[in-house]
Structure 1
Amino acid sequence: MIIAQFLTYLQHEKRYSPHTIQSYKTDLLQFSEYMQQTFELPLTEVGYVHVRNFMVTLLEEHVSENSVGRKLSTLRSFYKHLSREGLIPVNPMTLVKAPKVPKRLPVFVDDQKLDVLLDSGEFFDDTFPSVRDKLVIETLFGTGMRLAELLSLKESDIDFYGATVRVLGKRNKERIIPIGKVLGDQLKAYIDLKTLQNFNNKTGVLIVTDKGAPAYTKLIYRIVTSYLTNVSTQDKKSPHVLRHSYATSLLNRGADLNAIKELLGHASLAATQVYTHNSVERLKSIYKQAHPKA
């Protein structure tokens, strides 16, 4: 099946993460099902008009412009690969334009709210699940790493002497992230407590479930969402929000944009510059509150 062959290509040659590959798979299966049910066409016989109909149908079903754009991006990669392999005569994505997406600022949680959550002593206890949950939030906010990077992080990736963690990012690109003393101490305490649980954890993965198995995506989402609910009323409460919070906090405290880019593992500065908008909005808010002519 050409979808399976394409996913294998993404895994072994492009070295995409399992999470990204799953997203591609979901999009392609949805598109394939639509083509079969609506036009009775195999993917190799799809044309521009069929893709356009698919896009219009999604928008009519109130799928967001962001989601539609992502699905079209998946199809572009897919058909570019088929064209390169000589499996289709014409690339149907050549003339397809994605819908305009309104610019949205990254959602983040204020430092003060995270301080209340992590330092008040109100929300966590000394049990293993609670210590683990707190470490998950501390690590995401204290390093800005992605969810997939956290899930793959191993105890051996932590350099306590150098106060750094080694992270394997997108496309197997490695980077070193410094950690503060508080996070370093919590990592030590968590690992000691995990050792006392006598888990049979042969993988060496840092974050594990209550029974010692490697943590998974839904568990981390559940941890982050449940605890952020205690201090934030905003709708979006995901691991990526803590990554945004990390970057925004650094920028608000004068960190160099290029340094933030390296810490986040962004391929280009353009991806990092979105955080400057949050910083400008914060300055505007301060101005309006403090200046007599505002």
Structure 2
Amino acid sequence: MSGEAKTRVPKQGASRFDVERHARSLRCSDIARAARLADLEHAIAHLVTRGAQSPADVDAGMLEDYVWNLENTGFTVETVEQRLAAVSTYFAWFIRTNKPARGQEALVNPVRGVRVAHSSSCPACKANTNDTTLKGQCAIRDGRLSAWQPSAFELSLTASSANTRAAYRRDVELFAEWLLEAGDDAAPNRVTKEDVRAYLAHLHDRGATSRTVARRIAALRRYFGWAIRRNMASIDPTEAMHTPKTKGRLPRPLDEQTVTTLVTTEDPDAPTWRRARDRAALEILYGSGLRVSEVCSLELQSMSSDKTTLRVMGKGSKERIVPLSSPATAAITHWLTLRNEVANETSGNALLLSSRGKPVGRRDVARLLDEACERAGIVGGTHPHALRHSFATHLMDNGADTRSIQELLGHSDAATTQRYTHVSKERLRLAYTETHPRA
């Protein structure tokens, strides 16, 4: 395989579709904007070859042909849905910014009638795997990129958490798809060091952070080690590959008053059960410092009989006991009196449930936190992990020792917990410079 492998996406027609102006309208990070722009340009290149000279020429048939082409080439279910979503967002923007003249028919988003051959929401993809994988084992989904056997690789990562396994699998799939777009016969035994270097250069051009690049290298190194053991590859193209040094990012905790306002705010228009569930989720996130994945995996039997502690399954299937704050205990107790209003046969023993009675997911928690931030007037919002950062930082600020905080957070490495010491030192420095007359 050539070391010059790179995505060969012709940009002809992009100016006629006003792609750059659409890209400027997207409210997202520069990295996400570059990714969406690349997805859109890839679709437009295909549409132009089918005779589309402008957005108004595109119909559902052209897009169905594009989706079929992606699926037939072997792109993953996630990539097909992601690219179709980018196209849908583009046409929604185009319709908003190009109002029809009087007497003309209103434009309709051509993506509306397009269906993918296989969706990531199929029952097999969403089946419960008891934390073996984040998604179920689906023959259609796992059949994509068959030469790379991503499903078998994911299942081989037995010592890693489900989130890590899913992330590594996705990293390998993205690399394989990048090779596919180069037009070569992409297979593990044909990959060279030049291909990997070209891919890393591609990531750099996209604006990927050193942390992202380091994880991609780690995933590929893990994959090719596995592929060599299975005789799927003869060399490891990542051998002696330099991993960029990642910059340690200090946590950005919220102050105590802001957290109190955030956790206690309620939506007066929401059903009583939802207000109770949201309050319980927020109290657990901050009161016990759990990861969002740990909150989502809590079960009814996770809480002790005296309702003072939670048994949590953390990263790497490591179990720990964390205390419950008094407000969290009260919030959970109140929620349990209303849980049956949404519980059904799909609920199982999950502690927190969605409106459909299923265990809450990461997006459910992120959504309820976004709504709470809006009610609390927190500009720019925050994310679930910020409450975990706040939990640890407030403990440190109030005199807790590092070892105790490490146990509460479930960190296997004390160096990870030391970040909160740095945050507290920064606060001390700020207090000193703002108050000392000779600072």
So what's the TM-score if we normalise by structure 1? 0.90
Q: Which residue of structure 2 lines up, in the alignment, with residue 21 of structure 1? A: 165
Relative to structure 2, which stretch is displaced further, 75-84 or 145-154? 75-84
Contact preservation (8 Å) 1:114, 1:231: no
Structure 2 runs not aligned, ≥5 long: 1-145
Contact preservation (8 Å) 1:160, 1:184: no
* Amino acid in the other structure paired with 1:35: L
Aligned ranges for residues 133-212 of structure 1 at < 5 Å?
133-161=278-306, 163-197=308-342, 199-200=344-345, 202-212=347-357
Alignment RMSD (CA, Å): 2.1
1:232 is aligned, of 349, 371, 378, to: 378
* Amino acid in the other structure paired with 2:211: N
Aligned ranges for residues 1-294 of structure 1 at < 5 Å?
1=146, 2-10=149-157, 13-17=158-162, 19-38=163-182, 39-119=184-264, 123=267, 127-161=272-306, 163-197=308-342, 199-200=344-345, 202-229=347-374, 230-234=376-380, 237-294=382-439
Contact preservation (8 Å) 2:277, 2:335: yes
Summarize deviations over 1:193-239 as a string: whole Å, max 9, x none. 2135564455110110123211112111111222224343356x211
Distance 2:326 2:281 in 1: 16
Distance apart, 1:15 and its partner CA: 5.0
The change in CA–CA distance for 1:126 and 1:283 in structure 2 (over 3 A counts) is farther
Distance apart, 1:86 and its partner CA: 4.6
- Aligned-pair identity in percent equals 29
Distance apart, 1:276 and its partner CA: 1.3
Matched position secondary structure for 2:254: coil
Distance 1:123 1:286 in 2: 36
Distance 1:160 1:117 in 2: 28
Contact preservation (8 Å) 1:35, 1:43: no
Contact preservation (8 Å) 1:163, 1:179: yes
Structure 1 runs not aligned, ≥5 long: none
Distance 2:429 2:212 in 1: 31
Summarize deviations over 1:27-56 as a string: whole Å, max 9, x none. 111100112222533123322221111111
Matched position secondary structure for 1:159: coil
Matched position secondary structure for 1:104: coil
Q: Which residue of structure 1 lines up, in the alignment, with residue 64 of structure 2? A: none
Distance 2:234 2:392 in 1: 45
Contact preservation (8 Å) 1:128, 1:210: no
* Amino acid in the other structure paired with 1:112: Q
Summarize deviations over 1:42-72 as a string: whole Å, max 9, x none. 1233222211111110110112222222222
Contact preservation (8 Å) 1:48, 1:95: no
Distance apart, 1:188 and its partner CA: 0.6
Contact preservation (8 Å) 2:347, 2:359: no
Larger Rg: 2
The change in CA–CA distance for 1:234 and 1:102 in structure 2 (over 3 A counts) is farther
Summarize deviations over 1:147-201 as a string: whole Å, max 9, x none. 1111110011101416100001112111000112121111111111213556445
So what's the TM-score if we normalise by structure 2? 0.62
How many residues end up aligned between the 2 structures? 289
